[in-house]
Amino acid sequence: MSYQIAMYAREAHTKVKKTIYNIKQPMKGFGLFLILTGACLFISCGPWERSPFYAADISGIEADSVEIRQYEEVLFNLNPFILRQEIEPYRQAFSFFLGDRIDDEDGQQQLYDYVTDPFMIDLYLDTREKWPGMHDLEDELTEAFRYYRYHFPADTIPKMYTYISGIDFQMPVMLADGHLVIALDTYLGSDYEIYGKLGIPAYQARWMIPERVALDVMHQLALKHLTKVSPRPENLLEHMVHQGKILYFLDCMVPHVEDTLKIKYTGSQLAWMERNAGRAWTYKIENELLYDTDHGAITKFTREAPFTSPFSRHSAPRTGAWLGWQMVREYMRRHDDVSLQELIQETDARKILTRSRYRPR
């Protein structure tokens, strides 16, 4: 990966420069109070809270603690005028980034331009303020990888790095050759001023938050497994099931994270989707869309957007993805003998639809 990420960030920055300028009812009777209090304690208010069916028992699963290497902390603290000499002690640790080009003049110049660029320096300083350490993220990922090891015991955990990308918000996490790279500057919070100046749509900036990092990491691993065995989705149903599998993968890796965060819904969007699931499903059936292969029709229901265009501007986006998610969940709930690996390997979307018996109302 000789300088590829640094170069990509540099190219992204060049483009960026052109853009920037309950009302409670009174209790009737003390007995009712005791019953409700007891129910609360037993069902949902303490350690007895029931886990979702897809949350595996990982009490016996061991996994090495995740260690994140911060490339930006090395680069932006070197003397740029003697970069070649100062980076030598870190060459092996960050060979994924550096490759062999640190030995030639062009490579050294490109790296110098990257670490002395004022915009990149500002991003690094803002990132360091938002992310003063990696301990919380490392703990979160360590827990997620215990679930991952439960489902994929033979897999190797990728080496993990962070870097400054120049706000490559289309690719906040990359996975290649057993290395996973996180662009920390794409997780500075929905209110980070520069995101708005770059013209990043509000519906996307809303989710450029630290809470999404572990989910995006697991999303990349889901894609790795799916692309190995699954054919490219062609019709709408296949796209729905494909995205449903990705979201169910997230269920399995971070089972106690809210659904809104997994699918990038606000609370009101989730409420709309739950109220209108039947309507959204019926629309696809009545308009014979399930087996439609038209790309434009498919993206209306599966891509990230502020809403689903065939419905109202108050609708939830990605209604096809949400329906596919519930379909896959129902399929797995009804077939508890099917493993996550077997779900991924099942390429017949119609079979999953039929055997899930999913019919929202």
Using a CB cutoff of 8 Å and minimum separation of 24, what contacts does 342-347 make? Answer: 343/245, 343/248, 344/225, 344/226, 344/229, 344/230, 344/245, 344/249, 345/229, 345/230, 347/229, 347/230, 347/231
pLDDT digits (tens, 9 = 90+) for 1-24: 434 454 445 555 554 444 444 333
- Measured from the Cβ of residue 56, the count of other Cβ atoms closer than 10 Å reads 16
pLDDT digits (tens, 9 = 90+) for 185-240: 999 999 999 999 999 999 999 999 999 999 999 999 999 999 998 788 999 999 99
- In the predicted structure, residue 44 carries a pLDDT above the cut 60: no
Q: Please state which of the ranges 64-73, 92-101, 265-274, 281-290 shows the lowest mean pLDDT.
A: 92-101
Domain parsing of the chain, residue ranges = 4-19+55-221, 230-356
The pTM of this model reads: 0.87
> Does the pLDDT value for residue 43 go beyond 60?
no
For residue 25, pLDDT beyond 90:
no
Average pLDDT value over all residues in the chain: 89
- C-alpha pair distances (Å), 319 with each of 21, 265, 282, 314: 35, 11, 12, 12
CA gap 349, 37 in Å, rounded:
45
pLDDT one-digit tens code per residue, 89-143: 999 999 999 988 888 899 999 999 999 999 999 999 999 999 999 999 999 999 9
Higher-scoring residue by pLDDT: 286, 38: 286
